[in-house]
Amino acid sequence: MEPIIEVEGLTVKRGPTEALSNASFMIERGDYVGVVGPNGGGKTTLVLALLGLLPRESGSIRIMGQDIDTFDQWEKVGYVSQFAIDFDAQFPLTVRELVGLGRVNRKNMGRFRNKEDWSAVSDALELMNISDLANKRIGALSGGQRQRAFVAKSLVSDPQLLVLDEPVTGFDPVTQERFFMQLANLNNKKGLTILIISHDLAAVFCRMSRVLCVNKEVHSAAITETTVPDEILKKGYGEHFHFAFHRHHCQGVFVDERL
């Protein structure tokens, strides 16, 4: 398999604090990766470093075979931050117009969208099942609908890698499940490599192909039929942690034995 992200000896500081220490792992093209770990463990720090938005103290990162310091194909990387949907609800922008902004890049800055751009917008709206919302103002949507609109915006440039930082925070369980299913469809049908920070451990071990457990250190493991979640998760959450997983029903719960 072709690696799409290669990390070797990555150390990142946030101020005086070492947020990530000597992390090494690889993500292959077509992987669907869940990034999990306790709050404050460094999940968002890892993602920001992979996107070149945080400087490295040491180590190397390669994206699509190219060193991150010289990587020049960012249009192939879609990113939705955890704060994407936090904006003025009165902002006069329709869903279609918002998604269209995803076609803007350094090469076409200032150019009005053309027929090809709007066709790509329609395809992205359809992929996220929000075509019926195209002419609604973004501020009039529910949280789940907004999040899908921002994912559509990140998909409209036809990226090879999609990075999502806690996209289902505040969603009800049914909406979360539908959202993860849509991502799984994109991964299966389009071969899109997805990296997603999530607290939904059941969704990670049910739907995804790889897990990165982050708590200052990064522990990477493939998810297969024989994977034992506890063995991976205890490396990040601690020995007190116990995860009860029922694969057949695609559900799971975790129990913190300190409670």
* Residue 245: per-residue pLDDT: 61
Q: How far apart are CA 74 and CA 137, in angstroms?
A: 28
* Residue 175: per-residue pLDDT: 74
Q: Which two tokens stand for residue 226?
A: 């024989």
Q: How far apart are CA 245 and CA 259, in angstroms?
A: 19
| Pair 153, 127: CB distance under 8 Å | no
Mean pLDDT of 135-157: 87
Mean pLDDT of 100-113: 68
The yes-or-no verdict on residue 228 having pLDDT over 70 is yes
* Residue 41: per-residue pLDDT: 93
The yes-or-no verdict on residue 86 having pLDDT over 70 is no
| % residues pLDDT > 90 (the chain) | 46
| Pair 22, 66: CB distance under 8 Å | no
* Residue 109: per-residue pLDDT: 56
With helix as H, strand as E and coil as C, how does the chain read? CCEEEEEEEEEEEECCEEEEEEEEEEEECCCEEEEECCCCCCHHHHHHHHCCCCCCCEEEEEECCEECCCCCCHHHEEEECCCCCCCCCCCCCEHHHHHHHHHCCCCCCCCCCCHHHHHHHHHHHHHCCCHHHCCCEHHHCCHHHHHHHHHHHHHCCCCCEEEEECCCCCCCHHHHHHHHHHHHHHHHHHCCEEEEECCCHHHHHHHCCEEEEEECEEEEEECCCCCCHHHHHHHHHCCCEEEEEEHHHCEEEEEECCC
The yes-or-no verdict on residue 95 having pLDDT over 90 is yes
Question: Mean pLDDT score of the chain, rounded to an integer?
Answer: 85
Q: Hey, what domains does the chain have and what are their CATH numbers?
A: 31-56+163-259 (3.40.50.300), 89-159 (no CATH)
Q: How far apart are CA 222 and CA 228, in angstroms?
A: 11
